[in-house]
Amino acid sequence: MSFLDRIAACNNHDPALFRPFIVAGRQMGLVNHAFAARLEAFPSVFDVDAASVSLAAGLTNFEDRSAAVAEVLRGLAGQGVIKGWRDELFPVANGFGHTPLMQIERAAVPLFGVRAFGVFVNGYVRDGGNLKLWIGRRSKTKPSWPGMLDVFVGGGHPIGIGLMDNLVKEAGEEANVPPALARQARPVGAISYRMNIDGGFRPDTEFVFDLELPADFAPRNTDGEIEDFYLWPVEQVMETVRDTGDFKPNCNLALIDFFIRHGFLTPDEPDYLEILAGLRQ
Amino acid sequence: MSFLDRIAACNNHDPALFRPFIVAGRQMGLVNHAFAARLEAFPSVFDVDAASVSLAAGLTNFEDRSAAVAEVLRGLAGQGVIKGWRDELFPVANGFGHTPLMQIERAAVPLFGVRAFGVFVNGYVRDGGNLKLWIGRRSKTKPSWPGMLDVFVGGGHPIGIGLMDNLVKEAGEEANVPPALARQARPVGAISYRMNIDGGFRPDTEFVFDLELPADFAPRNTDGEIEDFYLWPVEQVMETVRDTGDFKPNCNLALIDFFIRHGFLTPDEPDYLEILAGLRQ
């Protein structure tokens, strides 16, 4: 396996499986054909034809759209069509920070192929001239990617919270990072990918942060989502990313970006420029 | 002006002005229509038709191709069609580090729209919690971009030298950096752009390095290409990049990449994701 394989695994989108999802005349996502067929049962909320799924024209504002879709989604969750309900609302907007046209339950975001945003925090420790990375092991009871390795702290970006405030909240819950320390996280870019998974489409963008941690800081999970933490030399993390499928897929991208920015993955790597291009799709 | 304007200035490529340049059945670049017409005068070297410019099929190896094209180029330089002859040879290859199909004089590379590679070194100094960047002012007698601001060290990547060896050579010539110090430069990624200039096409990729310099290091130019150096706080460099056209255009991209990687340009910038995408085209 190679770094490019890790990138390819997050970029397996097949446009033939989807049709556009349109809100207020704008394409906001993609719906797979099978899910589109299910939405035909709700003609007061969705106009479904062979070419697209549009939110009904009578739904003209944020509140009406969000309420009508929420009712449909709760019904589909009751039927088991939507799994892993989170009770967390994500914006549907034309770009990060733009005024949202509506909000939807997080678990349904991939079913509408709406771009989601999130944060990934690489937590690292300087040990003389060496760098070590804190790595998490996801709980075996987590609905998504149970038991897999994870970056230090990460989280989806719900509606109505600033990026840094969300980072501070996630860092507190996932790793017991004091707010003042979490706020030292430094934004260093973003990765993006186009992934098909469980019948959905995830055209996601994750803002990447680096957080240098004191040598005596020991993360401790407080929300039950991470069962263990490991402090590994960057070289060991690189080998694990490259040679195993142990990390949650999109975490590989945030880690590869770290390896590049810190000079561990160098232009001597024959795929260097392809890897770079692959991190932002 | 904005950071996006600086990126747009390096990405003004208009495909309508060009036709493919083909070597051994593979497209290796683009030739503008006026230059293609000039190449019709050399039918033993170039097959020119309305759709493309191909290197003559009889030229079947590196040496023959390079020699035949060199003869044409020397003639065109004598007529003033090719300006700023450098006596430096660049590879024509299907990717960085791939076996080159031929080599051509650097001054002619944009006329064939062949991808060129180079290195940019951001030289910075830590001053307590602040960062400062060393900035060069190009000599007023330089053929390209005279008098403009420049990154600490930069240079095109000629044939037959490793990336780090070229960096060490350029750092010595441009800024009198001792080799041992230059070798501490850390690869941190690459920027790329697609620029039309002087009738040519530059689909270039520049490998970016960061080099932390001791506070007592003072650069001194040894090859006459840089007339002055300034040590500026990063914030001042950011303002200069954003608000003025004082930097050589592609230097803006390497500096914007630095601002992002070091957390000076943050997701609070409304164009953040567009800027990120714009740095690698």
Q: Check CB contact under 8 Å for A273 and B96.
A: yes
Question: What separation in angstroms does the CA of B138 have from each of A110, B87, B182, B205, B231?
Answer: 51, 20, 20, 21, 15
Segment A137-174, tens digit of pLDDT: 999 998 889 999 999 999 999 999 999 999 999 999 99
Using the beta-carbon criterion (under 8 Å), do B207 and A267 form an inter-chain contact?
A: yes
- Pairing relationship of beta strands B205-212 and B117-127 according to DSSP bridges: parallel
Residues of B in Cβ contact (< 8 Å) with A266: 187
Query: In chain A, which residues have their Cβ closer than 8 Å to the Cβ of B205?
Result: 273
Asked if A266 lies within 8 A of B187 by C-beta distance, the reply is yes
- pLDDT value at position B281? 82
pLDDT tens digits along B60-78: 999 999 999 999 999 999 9
Percent of chain A with pLDDT over 70: 100
d(CA A227, CA B244): 51
Fold assignment, B3-11+116-278 = Nucleoside Triphosphate Pyrophosphohydrolase (3.90.79)
CA-wise closest residue to B45 among B77, B67, B78: B67
Whether B96 contacts chain A with CB within 8 A: yes
Residue A201 has pLDDT above 90, yes or no: yes
Q: How confident is the model at residue A129 (pLDDT cuts 50, 70, 90)?
A: confident
DSSP codes, chain B: --HHHHHHHT----GGGEEEEEETTEEEEEEEHHHHHHHTT-TTTEEE-SS-EEE-TT--SHHHHHHHHHHHHHHHHHTTSS-S----EEEE-SSTTSPPSEEEEGGGTGGGT---EEEEEEEEEEETTEEEEEEEEE-TT-SSSTT-EE-SEEEE--TTS-HHHHHHHHHHHHH---HHHHTT-EEEEEEE--EEETTEEE--EEEEEEEE--TT-----SSSSEEEEEEEEHHHHHHHHHH-S-B-HHHHHHHHHHHHHTTSS-TTSTTHHHHHHHTB-
Please indicate whether, in this complex, the C-beta atoms of B96 and A163 are within 8 angstroms of each other. no
- Which residue in chain A is spatially nearest to B278 when comparing CA positions? A280
Q: Residue B161 has what pLDDT?
A: 95
User: According to the model, what pLDDT value does residue A9 have?
Assistant: 97
Closest in A190, A263, A270 to B187, CB measured: A263
Q: Do B97 and A205 touch (CB under 8 A)?
A: no
Of A97, A187, A260, nearest to B189 by CB-CB distance is: A260
Contacts with B262 from chain A: Cβ below 8 Å: 186, 188
Size of interface A-B (CB pairs under 8 A): 58
- A259 vs B contacts (CB less than 8 Å): none
Closest to A172 measured CA to CA, from A157, A187, A153, A185 = A153
pLDDT at B142 over 90: no
Q: Which of A187, A189, A273 sits opposite B205 (nearest CB)?
A: A273
Q: How far is B213 from chain A, CA to nearest CA, in Å? A: 16
Domain ranges, ordered by start, for chain A: 3-11+116-278, 15-112
Q: What is the pLDDT of residues B80-138, one digit of tens each?
A: 999 989 999 999 999 999 999 999 999 999 999 999 999 999 999 999 889 999 999 99
Name the residue with higher pLDDT: B281 or A271.
A271
Question: Are B171 and B153 spatial neighbours (Cβ–Cβ below 8 Å)?
Answer: yes
Flag whether pLDDT at B189 surpasses 90: yes
Mean pLDDT of B6-24: 97
Cβ contact A267–B95 (<8 Å)? no
Q: Do B276 and A207 touch (CB under 8 A)?
A: no
Q: List the single residue in A with minimal CA-CA distance to B117.
A: A273
The answer, yes or no, to whether residue A90 has pLDDT greater than 90, is yes
Give the right CATH number for A15-112 from 3.40.640.10, 3.30.750.160, 3.30.365.10, 3.40.50.620. Answer: 3.30.750.160
Per-residue burial over A20-52, b if 16 or more Cβ lie within 10 Å, else e, is: ebbbeeeebbbbbeebbebbeebeebbebeeee
Q: How far is CA B126 from the centre of its chain?
A: 27
> Do residues B150 and A254 make contact, with C-beta atoms less than 8 angstroms apart?
no
Nearest CA in chain B to A209: B263
Q: Which of B188, B266, B272 sits opposite A261 (nearest CB)?
A: B188
Question: What residues of chain A lie within 8 A of the CB of B166, using their CB?
Answer: none
Are residues B261 and A207, on separate chains, in Cβ contact within 8 Å? no
Picking from A184, A261, A268, A272 by the largest number of B CB atoms within 10 A of its own CB, the best residue to mutate is A261
Q: Is the ipTM of this complex over 0.90?
A: yes
- State yes or no: pLDDT of B210 exceeds 90: yes
Q: Select from B190, B262, B267 the Cβ nearest to the Cβ of A207.
A: B267
Q: Note whether B52 contacts A: Cβ–Cβ < 8 A.
A: no
The answer on pLDDT for A91 being more than 90 is yes
- Give chain A's mean pLDDT: 96
Inter-residue contact A136 to A228 (CB < 8 Å): yes
A188 and B96: CB-CB below 8 Å? no
With contacts defined as CB-CB under 8 Å, which chain B residues touch A206? Answer: none
Give the pLDDT score at B1.
84
Kindly state the average pLDDT of the residues A113-130. 96
Q: What is the pLDDT of residues B129-139, one digit of tens each?
A: 899 999 999 99
Distance from the Cα of A75 to chain B's closest Cα (Å) equals 36
The yes-or-no verdict on residue A70 having pLDDT over 90 is yes
Contact A189 B261 (CB under 8 A): yes
Q: Does A261 contact B260 at a Cβ distance shorter than 8 Å?
A: no
Mean pLDDT in residue range A259-275: 97
For residue B272, the chain A residue with the least C-alpha distance is: A189
Beta bridge partner(s), residue B127: B130
Report d(CA A154, CA A149) in Å as an integer.
Answer: 12
Q: Using CB atoms and an 8 Å cut-off, which of residues 62-81 of chain A contact chain B? A: none
Of the partner residues B97, B188, B266, the one whose CB lies closest to the CB of residue A187: B266
Q: Locate B243 and state its tokens.
A: 């608000």
Q: What is the pLDDT of residues A18-63, one digit of tens each?
A: 999 999 999 999 999 999 999 999 999 999 999 999 999 999 999 9
| Closest residue to B188, CB basis, from A207, A260, A270 | A260
* Partners of A195 in the β-ladder: A202
Q: Is the Cβ of A197 closer than 8 Å to some Cβ of chain B?
A: no
Q: CA A244 to CA B131: how far, in whole Å?
A: 38
When pLDDT is averaged across residues B139-149 and rounded to a whole number, the result is: 92
A184 inside 8 A of chain B by CB? no
Residue B178, pLDDT score: 98
Which neighbouring-strand residues pair with A228?
A137
Q: Specify the pLDDT at position A144.
A: 87
Best to test chain B binding among A117, A161, A164, A272 (most B CBs inside 10 Å)? A272
| A212 confidence band (pLDDT: 50, 70, 90) | very high
Whether the predicted pLDDT of A134 surpasses 90: yes
